[in-house]
Copies of this chain bind each other. A is one copy, B any other.
Amino acid sequence: MVKRPTIADIAIQAGVSTGAVSYALNGRPGVSPATRDKILAIAEEIGWRPSLAARSLTGARVNAVGLIIPRPARVLGMEPFFMQFISGVESVLSANRTALLLQVVPDHDAADEAVRYWWAERRIDGVLVTDLWAQDQRPELLTQLGVPGVLVGRPRDGVDLPAVWSDDATAVESVVDYLVTIGHRRIARVAGLPSLEHTQIRTAAFQAAAARHGLESAPVISTDYTWEEGAQATRRLLTTADRPTAITYDNDLMAVAALSVAHELGISVPAQLSIVAGDDSQLCLVQHPSITALARDIVDYGARAAQTMLDLVEDGQASSQQVPTATLIPRASTATAP
């Protein structure tokens, strides 16, 4: 085991006190240029790196942010969203020498607990809060504990945490408008986890748009985002008397599953049924027919959230921002209503 160098080692070699070394390494006044250069040179030479522990003990930042993902392990695997989001977060964090602490937890309570621990142990400077659900206590918890947090989702009334969000309502509306324009009057929505805030926002927007257009029917079925539930919901919708002529899904995987179910039931897409995916990925492109989808730049979304987090930690405040609204990319899975 190699003993790692400390500022004391540098001090001895440079023939100065550790205090002087500290000043020099931190670019603070109090040392002559000559001494500073000498100290920096020695530090470089012996490969000195600051001890995070020692620094944070004196109250400094720990240069780490937490990301807690409250979803069961198996579900996560097929969600392109998170991996892309994380990639985006990482691109900003690593450029700022900040680590990402990841925790995948099965439920809400575990998520709260994780925040508490990390903060109490001073492991993180702040947390990114994703997958906000309706009665989510995390914003209040963070405020109460004094943990800097960035909400990935709509800003909350009553809590002073910056949010980075996308206007899902408008996006959903644009899908309904599009489908209505090409003649659909019976449109269904297969939603994601009903407890999630953005699911509720989308469902509300969907129903409002449906009402505005005076649609014949606009059923909504909730799922857990998996292929199985997506397929099951589709089967239910397609075996009703007045089956919908168009169905929108809250992610891409379920839309792909829908293609499969339609095929199985002998319903041709897009001639008899139009399908729209709520997230875009290579998955949608690869299908036959390729799937019309709501596309947004998720990597960028993650990057913005991370940047907001850094600003918040740096300045003690940061402003909320909205990322560009998802745009509909029409492909082969949608056509005029039969």
Minimum CB–CB distance for A4 against chain B, Å:
6
Minimum CB–CB distance for A43 against chain B, Å:
12
A241 at the interface (CB under 8 A from B): no
Contact stretch, chosen from A23-31, A119-127, A161-169: A119-127
Whether A51 and B57, one on each chain, are in contact in the complex, defined by CB atoms closer than 8 angstroms, is yes
A173 at the interface (CB under 8 A from B): no
Cross-interface CB contact of A73 among B56, B62, B77, B299, cutoff 8 Å: B299
Give 1 or 0 for each of A35-47: 1 = CB within 8 Å of chain B CB: 0000000000001
A270 at the interface (CB under 8 A from B): no
Whether A227 and B73, one on each chain, are in contact in the complex, defined by CB atoms closer than 8 angstroms, is no
A54 at the interface (CB under 8 A from B): yes
A313 at the interface (CB under 8 A from B): no
Contacts of A12 in B (CB 8 A): none
Whether B100 and A102, one on each chain, are in contact in the complex, defined by CB atoms closer than 8 angstroms, is yes
Q: Please, how many angstroms separate the alpha-carbon atoms of A100 and B114 in the complex?
A: 12
A256 at the interface (CB under 8 A from B): yes
Interface size class on chain A is: 35 or more
This protein's copies in its complex: 2
Contact stretch, chosen from A149-157, A212-220, A277-285: A277-285
Given A54-B57, A227-B285, A299-B73, the answer on whether A104 and B90 have CB atoms closer than 8 Å is yes
Contacts of A260 in B (CB 8 A): 286-288
Q: Please, how many angstroms separate the alpha-carbon atoms of A257 and B281 in the complex?
A: 13
A99 at the interface (CB under 8 A from B): yes
> CB-nearest residue of chain B relative to A82?
B83
Whether A52 and B123, one on each chain, are in contact in the complex, defined by CB atoms closer than 8 angstroms, is yes
Whether A117 and B49, one on each chain, are in contact in the complex, defined by CB atoms closer than 8 angstroms, is yes
Contacts of A53 in B (CB 8 A): 52-57, 62, 122
Give 1 or 0 for each of A90-110: 1 = CB within 8 Å of chain B CB: 110010010111111100001
A74 at the interface (CB under 8 A from B): yes
Given A52-B121, A122-B53, the answer on whether A79 and B83 have CB atoms closer than 8 Å is yes
Minimum CB–CB distance for A130 against chain B, Å:
14
> CB-nearest residue of chain B relative to A254?
B286
> CB-nearest residue of chain B relative to A281?
B78
Q: Which residues from chain A sit less than 8 Å from chain B, CB to CB?
A: 1-2, 4, 47, 49-57, 62, 64, 73-74, 76-80, 82-84, 86-88, 90-91, 94, 97, 99-105, 110, 114, 116-118, 120-123, 145-146, 226-227, 253, 256-257, 259-260, 263, 281-283, 285-288, 298-299
Known: A73-B91, A100-B101. 18 other contacts (CB 8 A): A51-B122, A52-B121, A53-B54, A53-B55, A53-B122, A76-B83, A77-B80, A77-B298, A78-B282, A86-B104, A90-B102, A90-B104, A94-B105, A99-B102, A101-B102, A257-B286, A259-B288, A263-B288
A sample of 28 cross-chain residue pairs with beta-carbon separation below 8 angstroms, ordered by A number, consists of A4-B120, A47-B120, A49-B121, A51-B57, A51-B121, A51-B122, A52-B123, A53-B53, A53-B54, A53-B55, A53-B56, A53-B57, A64-B123, A73-B90, A77-B83, A77-B87, A78-B80, A78-B282, A90-B102, A90-B103, A94-B103, A94-B105, A100-B102, A227-B282, A256-B286, A257-B286, A259-B288, A283-B283
